[in-house]
Chain A
Amino acid sequence: MPLTDQELKDLSRTAAKVRRDMVDVTGWSGGAHIGGSLSMADILVLLYWKYMRIDPAKPDWEDRDRFVLSKGHGGMGHAVVLANRGYFPMEDLKSFNETGSKLGMHLDSHKAVGCEISTGSMGHGLCQAVGLALGARVLKKDWRTFVIIGDGESDEGSIWEAAMSAAHYKTGNLIAFLDRNHYMIDGNTEKIMSLEPFADKWRAFGWETIEVSGHDLKALSGAIEFALDYKKGPVMLLCETVKGKGVDFMEGKAAWHYGGLGADLVEKAKASIGEG
């Protein structure tokens, strides 16, 4: 079912709220991976508010869908989404990165409620997502596994090991999103270690691959619905995104991979995002 106009309006507002909260946490925490959190915000909003079968009041519900943030450095963005979705109090975000906090740069699945898998080191999340997908198959469960991979992260060999195995075992219950925001710490991915032709690579590895905007909620929603219906193997939604999306002075700038924000910049960034 395509998004209704009301859903589109609500999800857009949620995405804007989540982005403004990401900016706040970046300000409170002294620094965070803001660029890559903003670029995947729309994907997370569609998953957590529309498509994943989850119940934040029952984070251990056996039949819940599983989500893995393979690009674990987006932990701040993920934490903001989990808090907004009700997994833990919004207040907890204020201690992000602090000693003794349940929340820090790379989320710990033992501490951050709703975080299924501890990630941070690149190229680990997709392997574990394949394990979750195969686990559901062995256990004869119909829950699905969703995973977001970074484009820079795709330099890791283990991503391609995992990609081969998902295709080999035809994991029709695994849907991956690639946050193709084009920038890694040292600069543009094509200058550091070229990924293109990226979609062809995923297709060659046996994944049903769809190229879609990672910010057009309607288009992305259509791609997700295709992926949910596709059972023959793993699906890759190669999402074209903008690093720092929503904040005019951050968009497309590698420098905002990680950064801190003073009070003035926090206000400027939130004003740029608006109400959605």
Chain B
Amino acid sequence: MAKAESTVTWTVYDALKMSAREIYGVVLTDLGGVNPNIVGLSADLAKSTQIGAFGDKFPDRFFNFGIAEQNMFGVAAGMAKAGLLPFVSTFSAFASMRACEFLRTDICYQNLNVKVIATHGGTSFGSAGSTHHAFEDLSIVRAFPNLTVIVPADGFETAQAVKKCMDINGPVYIRIGRGFEPSAYAAEDDTFEIGKAVEMHPGTDITVIACGPTVFQALEAAKILQTDGGVSVRVLNMHTIKPIDKEAILKAVTDTRRILTVEDHNVIGGLGSAVADVIAGSGKGCAFEKVGIPDVFTPHGYPEDLMHLYKTDTDGIIEKVREILGRDFEADEDWEDEV
């Protein structure tokens, strides 16, 4: 497959003023001008997911299926079999649950080149309530063979993920928010590599592993902890949940001995579980905690309030880091042997 070449540079878009969804729409439209096989699919959420921008420019390659996600994912599989490169957009809750079996059996089982842009992930559609919150999606789709799962930190990284997922000849699930999250990056980072975590902040006392909107929160927490308490927090942006960057996780275990994962997702089955699998399988011991939605249905509320409630915001991360640092893990005299 030809490497995707975008015709314009990312700086053309003012990412600090555009949501990840808007950026996705612009990048996809740009890619659509380069690759005539790209088609855009929506299920009555063209405006909400911003894939409409693509449809405005390429009406013959844009298909709205109405409120029928199962069919949309099946059609995408058929289109990929025909030789097209479908980008399917809907809310994360519907991509992972309503269309679950079509994503699994039609797209992943057949290992088809379909890109799923799952918007409104986690609690980002806070006021909509639990019917629209997607806090199980990563857990569900992570279990599908052949599927690459990416959770970009912000709009800049969404642009990179959308461009670079074109290099994978197979299914990719990109989970983004609703678009009101602060940016973790100040500019687009061209070194973004699928499957390779990014060290956003150096640290030696503890590593906070985050993805999506919690990357910004972890960074803020790391800065505050450094300034106020002299605590050295490494922040890893684990934008790719599958395949996960085992090397970065195990290096963090060795270097900092304490790991905290933070995700806008149920603590069962998402980023934290993926990281825990790696650590448990390595035989290396460390202090480990997961922060996320604690296996409950989430109430209505503004996303920032929900993240505060579940301690996935800056304050929550600071509190959790201090708690972990307060534990006397180093009293374990076998520690050096274990790591």
Give me the interface of A with B, judged by CB distance under 8 Å.
Answer: 66, 68, 109-110, 116-118, 120-121, 123-124, 126-136, 138-139, 141, 157-158, 161-162, 164-165, 168-169
11 A-B pairs in the complex with CB atoms less than 8 angstroms apart: A66-B82, A110-B110, A116-B81, A118-B105, A118-B109, A121-B105, A127-B70, A128-B74, A128-B81, A129-B78, A165-B75
Across-interface contacts of A126 in B (CB, < 8 A): 74
Is B76 an interface residue, CB under 8 A from the partner?
yes
Is B84 an interface residue, CB under 8 A from the partner?
yes
How near does chain B come to A236, taking the closest CB pair, in angstroms? 16
Across-interface contacts of B111 in A (CB, < 8 A): 110
Q: State A129–B81 Cα separation when bound (angstroms).
A: 10
Q: Are A124 and B105 in contact (CB under 8 A)?
A: yes
- Nearest residue, chain B, Cβ from A120: B105
A136-B82, A158-B102, A165-B65 given; 13 more Cβ-contact pairs under 8 Å: A68-B78, A117-B110, A127-B70, A128-B81, A131-B76, A131-B77, A131-B82, A132-B82, A134-B82, A139-B84, A158-B70, A161-B70, A164-B71
How near does chain B come to A121, taking the closest CB pair, in angstroms? 6
Q: Are A127 and B102 in contact (CB under 8 A)?
A: yes
Q: B91-115, CB under 8 A of A: which get 1 and which 0? A: 0000000000110011001110000
Interface residues on B, range: 20 to 34
Q: Are A139 and B82 in contact (CB under 8 A)?
A: yes
Give me the interface of B with A, judged by CB distance under 8 Å.
Answer: 37, 39, 60-61, 63, 65-66, 68, 70-71, 73-84, 86, 101-102, 105-106, 109-111
Most chain A Cβ neighbours within 10 Å, of B66, B76, B83:
B83
Across-interface contacts of B79 in A (CB, < 8 A): 131-132, 134-135, 138
Q: State A68–B78 Cα separation when bound (angstroms).
A: 10
Across-interface contacts of B83 in A (CB, < 8 A): 135, 139
- Nearest residue, chain B, Cβ from A123: B70
Q: Which 5 A-B residue pairings sit nearest by Cβ, starting from the closest?
A: A131-B78, A135-B82, A127-B74, A161-B71, A128-B78
Across-interface contacts of A116 in B (CB, < 8 A): 81
Given contacts A109-B110, A110-B110, A132-B81, contact A164 B74 (CB under 8 A): no
Across-interface contacts of B70 in A (CB, < 8 A): 123, 127, 157-158, 161
